[in-house]
């Protein structure tokens, strides 16, 4: 049993009503409209921990989806990621309600200063006793740019160049500013921290100037587990340097494998090992006691699914619903001045609007999707692990808390029987950090990770200790 | 009894080891070194709520005190506000551990974008069900400026001009972007928010450009209770426009009364009422079952007090400890090139270094300080309320949790007997917002507050609804 690859099991969440399964907030008994309440997050964390999940993974955006139909109307009516609340602030609530569960939070490197973000994540790593991870994003919504003083988005590859320097600042703060053993908390001698173990970072880069020192003393992980979602060349190069877990192409096995190989090559180019990053996919699982029961549930979810919500989220620059289904898509694209060979419509540009709509709505389910009995589901998940080569899933929620409890009650026991998840006994007293649990080593970044180069103050421009930064 | 002015009772805290009573972290049984742990904040909140406190008030800085002796050494050794963790992230922990307690958090308007801060505070107002307040500061530490890309601090009055526009952006987001009733969460019709009730703010000012809409739907208070600490002319003018509770001059009654009068005048000049702001002071209370027991405690605290910690915190540009106590202070000031008539040394410039040291260390106790039996303490607090004209205190902690539990066990019952605090029965089921509890009205800002001018989208430059912002 022990040589079987185990599944990393995360619940995919967002601090909002409608994250990705649009329309389903209306399902009878769905709790998503409780997202503003502290009790929602306490209950979610308790259920996830008791149910055998490794972590709760929180998506985020810092703007509204307002390009579909040139405005906010559809997103607001469908609650498509608006309203949405800050993701970091629910982590302490969930941490207080759990002892083992990990937390992944999404935060963008594009709009907020690295110094205060370093402090927030350091604080979370302390409060969670090393159970926190960070999903590094660079933001893509035009409205987000306008919320932070820019006329429009910064260009994609430039955002990654900024992110690279952002990470450099963070590593200097998290890894380089305080030595292990700097904190002695010696009441007799009246010394809390040994000054010679703490230093300014004096970062002076192209995009950031940060003096330090880091305000947070070393936490269990120091650097949180670094997650990233990517497929692009700039994103792949970035992942090769930084990522410890990557979300990648979940719609198609060939795409997933290609991305995984590219990222593993990038890891090696950066002096890291091919297994230094875990590969996660977003997965949809609809489970019933029988295949029939699962099919009924799926049918119910499809009935509540909202095409308009999906379209608002897709940021399409045209409205397929404004045309008769039999209209050739090429006609619509031409009228809108869009290139039929590039964009989410490229694969179906020779079909009709109706076919395109079917594809875009069904596409939400993608390759990593299964509906069926516990056996059917477990068989499929084993295929994802062994044949496709994934390491774990972010479980998409159709119904809250239904998706979580269905999985916990029906799938987890089956995966445990097959040695694909640790047993309830094994997890009960697991107090390891998130890095140790997901990566199998830690709690700190491995020495071969670029973030480790600043340890002990090495490779900082200035190594002056305890002298006022100029 | 009911016509007696009641005391607003806050516990003064900071997410760090040594906040203001330097050296006392070394006291036997002091819990301050537990500040990194989630359990510290849970226990603190439970004890404060059970003990009859109104709120926990969290100070903050975003840099290190590194001017004393030209470096970080003393601050690090004495743990003077470094290490320090993010204050907002412990609020959800404390909120989960309480039902009535309020929370004041300090955040600076100088270094981080208003859009994400608006979202964080909106999130906290939801999670706490309207129990959150904000202490508006503009930051004064040179090191803080260097942590956020600046070569040095922005000049004092300019920081207040920036803060004024910052508040304007926040009011537009908190008060103007979403109408009451915009959220309908209608499962039948599939409408979560009515688009006509939500709008961009399209703020285009001198320092900020923010499109909106606000990402957070209206919370109980919308705008958190606005706290401010001030004495300066620019600060007083700012308080007149914005503040609902002011911390002011706690060292001298004449200074306190002058500041209070100036701020009340400023309130009236802004169309507000003189009682639209409450006046709070930082207070030190050492209580024992008898006056003798209190005197012994005070003696213990003085023995553990650290002069070096106090000096590091004071940001003095010279080191009194480097000179013999009998040295004339004027001699030291001249040698350091300092003006003897302006600065914290001005009042004692004709004395010795030793006298100056005595004053600066004793000055930490100031006017609003009392040590004695519950009767002695309650008598003195009644004088502060009735003669000096304060509305409440931020209780300075000498010992954690000792100061809190001493006050809760010995002073609170006495103040309740005298009608100066609501009874345990009155508070038990109090589910009012922090604004209602402190200000006696609410839960929203009163109509005469400048933040209210944007309600319903009034006075926004653009009132376009549901149309993509340019």
- Note whether B367 and B387 are within 8 A (CB): no
CB B360, CB B306: distance < 8 Å: no
Q: Strands (DSSP E) along B68-196, which ranges?
A: 102-108, 132-137, 183-186, 191-193
Q: Is the Cβ pair B123, A89 closer than 8 Å?
A: yes
Distance from CA of B33 to the nearest CA of A (A): 8
CA proximity to B172, closest of B196, B128, B205, B194: B205
Contact, B141 vs B159, CB < 8 A? no
- Put simply, the answer to whether B82 touches A215 (Cβ < 8 Å) is yes
Closest-CA residue of B relative to A212 is B147
- Verify whether the Cβ–Cβ distance B187 to A64 is below 8 Å: no
Q: Mind listing the pLDDT tens digit for each residue in A336-376?
A: 899 988 888 887 888 999 999 988 877 667 789 999 999 99
- DSSP codes of every residue in A97-130: T-SS-EEEEEEESSSS-HHHHHHHHHHHHHHTTS
Confidence of residue B348 (pLDDT cuts 50, 70, 90): confident
Taking the CA of residue B342 and the nearest CA in chain A, the distance in Å comes to 24
Q: What is the least distance, in Å, from the CA of A96 to any CA of chain B?
A: 7
Share of chain B above pLDDT 70, in %: 96
Minimal CA separation from A343 to chain B, in Å: 22
- Annotated ligand binding at B232? The verdict is yes
Contact A38 B97 (CB under 8 A): no
A76 contact residues in B (CB cutoff 8 A): 192-195, 198, 466
Q: Name the nearest CA neighbour of B283 among B403, B154, B134.
A: B403
B449 is in an annotated binding site: no
Mean pLDDT of B291-306: 96
Please report which confidence band the pLDDT of residue B3 belongs to, taking 50, 70 and 90 as the band edges. confident
pLDDT grade for B342, boundaries at 50, 70 and 90: confident
pLDDT value for A367: 82
Q: A192, B36: Cβ pair inside 8 Å?
A: no
Judge: A92–B97 Cβ closer than 8 Å, yes or no.
no
Q: Would you say residue A118 has pLDDT above 80? A: yes
CB-CB neighbors (< 8 A) of A132 in chain B: none
Q: How far apart are CA B19 and CA B56, in angstroms?
A: 14
Strands of A252-382, DSSP E: 278-287, 369-372
Mean pLDDT value across chain A: 94
Mean pLDDT of chain B: 94
Of A23, A123, A146, the CB nearest to B89: A123
Interval B18-32 mean pLDDT: 97
* Contact between chains at A92 and B38 (C-beta distance less than 8 A): yes
A313 annotated to a ligand binding site: no
- pLDDT above 80 (res B469): no
C-alpha span between A103 and B138 (Å, rounded):
32
**B164 annotated ligand-binding residue:** no
pLDDT digits (tens, 9 = 90+) for B138-167: 998 999 999 999 999 999 999 999 999 999
Inter-chain residue contact A62 with B115, CB threshold 8 Å: yes
Task: Tell me which of B254 and A188 has the higher pLDDT.
Answer: A188
Grade residue A85 by pLDDT with cuts at 50, 70 and 90: very high
Q: How far apart are CA A393 and CA A278, in angstroms?
A: 10
- State the best of A34, A92, A174 to mutate against chain B, taking most chain B CBs within 10 Å: A92
Per-residue HEC secondary structure of A50-102 comes to HCCCCEEEEECCCCCCCCHHHCCHHHHHHCECCCECCCHHHHHHHHHCCCCCE
Cβ distance of A115 and B62 shorter than 8 Å: yes
Instruction: Please state the domain extents for chain B.
Output: 8-307+369-457
Identify the closest residue of chain A to B81 by CA–CA distance: A215
- For residue B118, what are its two tokens? 């608006």
Cα A369 to Cα A383: distance, rounded to the nearest angstrom: 12
- B37, B193, B469 ranked by CB distance to A146: nearest: B469
What's the pLDDT at B364? 66
Of B406, B450, B429, residue with least CA distance to B437: B429
B contacts of A123 (beta carbons < 8 Å)? 15, 85-86, 89-90
Q: What is the pLDDT of residues A134-150, one digit of tens each?
A: 999 999 899 999 999 99
What is the pLDDT, as a whole number, of residue B10?
Answer: 98
Q: What's residue B29's pLDDT?
A: 97
Strands B209-210, B203-204: pairing kind: antiparallel
Question: Is the predicted pLDDT of residue B437 greater than 60, yes or no?
Answer: yes
Chain A residues close to B113, C-beta within 8 Å: 111-112, 147-149
- Quote the minimal CA–CA distance from B293 to chain A in Å: 24
Residue of A33, A80, A215 to mutate when probing chain B, most B C-beta within 10 A: A215
One DSSP character per residue, A369-408 reads: EEEE-HHHHHHHHHHIIIII---EEEEPPSSTTHHHHHII
| Per-residue pLDDT reduced to its tens digit, A161-173 | 999 999 999 999 9
CATH of A8-307+369-457, one of 3.40.50.720, 3.30.43.10, 3.40.50.460, 3.20.20.30: 3.20.20.30
Residue B57 scores a pLDDT above 70: yes
CB contacts < 8 Å between A and B, how many?
A: 256
Assess whether pLDDT exceeds 90 at residue B396: yes
CA distance A70 to chain B (A): 6
**A19 has binding-site annotation:** no
**Residue B79: closest CA among chain A residues belongs to which residue?**
A192
Two tokens at A172?
């200097």
Spell out which residues of chain B touch residue A118, defining contact as CB-CB under 8 Å: none
When pLDDT is cut at 50, 70 and 90, the band that residue B251 belongs to is low
pLDDT band for position A469 (50/70/90)? very low
B40 neighbors B85 (Cβ within 8 angstroms): no
Shortest CA gap A86–chain B (Å): 6
């Amino acid at each position: 049993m022990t040589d079987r690859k185990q599944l990393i099991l995360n619940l995919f969440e967002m601090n909002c009503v409608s994250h990705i399964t649009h329309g389903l907030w209306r399902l009878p008994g769905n709790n998503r409209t409780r997202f503003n309440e502290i009790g929602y997050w306490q209950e979610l964390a308790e259920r996830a921990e008791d149910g055998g999940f490794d972590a709760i993974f929180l998506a985020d955006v810092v703007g509204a989806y307002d390009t579909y139909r040139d405005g906010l109307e559809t997103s607001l009516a469908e609650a498509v990621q608006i309203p949405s609340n800050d993701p970091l602030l629910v982590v302490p609530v969930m941490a207080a309600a759990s002892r083992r569960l990990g937390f992944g939070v999404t935060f963008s490197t594009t709009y907020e200063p690295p110094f205060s973000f370093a402090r927030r994540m350091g604080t979370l790593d302390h409060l969670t006793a090393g159970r926190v991870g960070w999903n590094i994003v660079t933001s893509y919504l035009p409205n987000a740019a306008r919320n932070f003083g820019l006329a429009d988005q910064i260009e994609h590859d430039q955002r990654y160049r900024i992110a690279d320097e952002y990470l450099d600042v963070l590593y200097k703060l998290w890894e380089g500013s305080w030595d292990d053993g700097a904190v002695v908390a010696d009441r007799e001698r009246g010394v809390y921290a040994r000054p010679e173990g703490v230093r300014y970072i004096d970062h002076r880069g192209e995009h950031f100037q940060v003096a330090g020192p880091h305000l947070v003393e070393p936490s269990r992980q120091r650097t949180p587990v670094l997650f990233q979602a990517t497929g692009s060349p700039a994103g792949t190069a970035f992942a090769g340097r930084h990522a410890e877990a990557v979300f990648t192409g979940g719609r198609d096995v060939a795409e997933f494998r290609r991305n995984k190989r590219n990222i593993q090559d990038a890891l090696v180019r950066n002096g890291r090992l091919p297994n230094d990053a875990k590969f996660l996919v977003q997965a949809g699982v609809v489970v019933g006691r029988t295949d029939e029961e699962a099919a009924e549930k799926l049918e119910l979810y499809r009935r509540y699914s909202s095409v308009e919500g999906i379209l608002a989220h897709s940021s399409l620059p045209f409205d397929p619903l404004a045309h008769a289904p039999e209209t050739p898509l090429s006609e619509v694209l031409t009228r809108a001045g869009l290139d039929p060979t590039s964009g989410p419509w490229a694969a179906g540009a020779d079909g009709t609007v109706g076919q395109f709509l079917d594809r875009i709505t069904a596409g939400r389910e993608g390759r990593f999707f299964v509906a069926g009995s516990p056996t059917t589901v477990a068989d499929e998940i084993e295929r994802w692990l062994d044949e496709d080569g994934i390491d774990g899933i972010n479980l998409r929620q159709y119904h809250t808390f239904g998706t979580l409890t269905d999985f916990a009650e029906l799938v987890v026991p089956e995966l445990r029987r097959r040695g694909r998840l640790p047993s309830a006994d094994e997890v009960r007293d697991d107090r390891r950090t998130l890095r140790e649990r997901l990566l199998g080593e830690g709690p700190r970044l491995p020495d071969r990770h670029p973030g480790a180069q600043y340890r002990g103050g090495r490779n900082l421009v200035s190594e002056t200790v305890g002298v006022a930064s100029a």
